Amino acid sequence: MPAPTDPATAAFAGHVFAAPALLAQALTHRSAGAPHNERLEFLGDAVLGVIVAEALYARWPKADEGSLTRARAELVRESSLAGVARRLEIGPRLVLGPGEMKSGGHRRDSILSDALEAIIGAIYLDAGFDACRRVVLPWFEEAVSAVPAGKVGKDAKTRLQEWLQGRQKPLPQYVLQQESGEEHARVFVVRCVVSDPPLAGEGEGGSRRAAEQLAAEVVLGQLPGA
């Protein structure tokens, strides 16, 4: 495979980089050394948030802030971004360290979603916001169209809390059971415990928050009418 700075690899999803080094950096995981994509990921996360928020604002003129916020969170969550990254075939283009290559890092949701955000940040720096939006928005058009306007469901932790509060029962406790993996690829296991009725469920995710949401979803599945 040619080096990321080769002219043959200086384009991505129709955008031809004026500064190919930006694309090279966006595709470089920290395990492969510097310059890697973490700073671009930070920038791309913010740019993507604006692009998606703007699209939802225009599409849903009557939706309230809560609905817009939940819809944006759904569209930019790790698993959603990883799905976009797979459709764009980012995995095979990633530059990984030997350990990540051996463990299949190019297939991991956290690495794929981070790389997608880094590429968005790179396009923004290379060509500005308008050009970035033109390239990026089509990646999410189908997902945006599939979300019923103003009717995005609340997350699992919120639904569980509201179910318990509505019945004047104690709130759930979230207990970190395990934290493993290297610093750039942490895995969290969280246990959600409800005392009344006595139920528990575990969730595993790339962040503590994601693991808590999955654990709450397991408990919700055990509650009548939840």
Answer yes or no: is 54 a known binding residue: no
Answer yes or no: is 89 a known binding residue: no
Nearby residues of 159 by Cβ (< 8 Å), 6 or more positions away: 153, 216, 220, 226
Type of residue found at 143? A
Answer yes or no: is 179 a known binding residue: no
| Active-site option among 100, 109, 117, 155 | 117
Q: Can you tell me the distance from the alpha carbon of 43 to that of 41, in angstroms, rounded to the nearest whole number?
A: 5
Taking residue 153's Cβ as centre, other Cβ atoms within 10 Å add up to 11
**Long-range contact pairs involving 57-60 (C-beta distance under 8 Å, separation at least 24):** 59/144, 59/149, 60/149, 60/150
Q: Can you tell me the distance from the alpha carbon of 113 to that of 204, in angstroms, rounded to the nearest whole number?
A: 17
CB 93 within 8 A of CB 3: no
196 catalytic, yes or no?
A: no
DSSP 114-169: HHHHHHHHHHHHHH-HHHHHHHHHHHHHHHHHHSPTT-PPPPHHHHHHHHHHHTT-
109 catalytic, yes or no?
A: no
What element of type H or E holds 60? Answer: none
Phi-psi region for residue 150, left (φ > 0), alpha (ψ -120 to 50) or beta? left
Q: Which residues pair with 16 in a beta bridge?
A: 11
| Active-site option among 45, 100, 109, 126 | 45
The residues that are catalytic are: 45, 117
Residue list for the binding site for Mg(2+): 41, 114, 117
Residue list for the binding site: 41, 114, 117
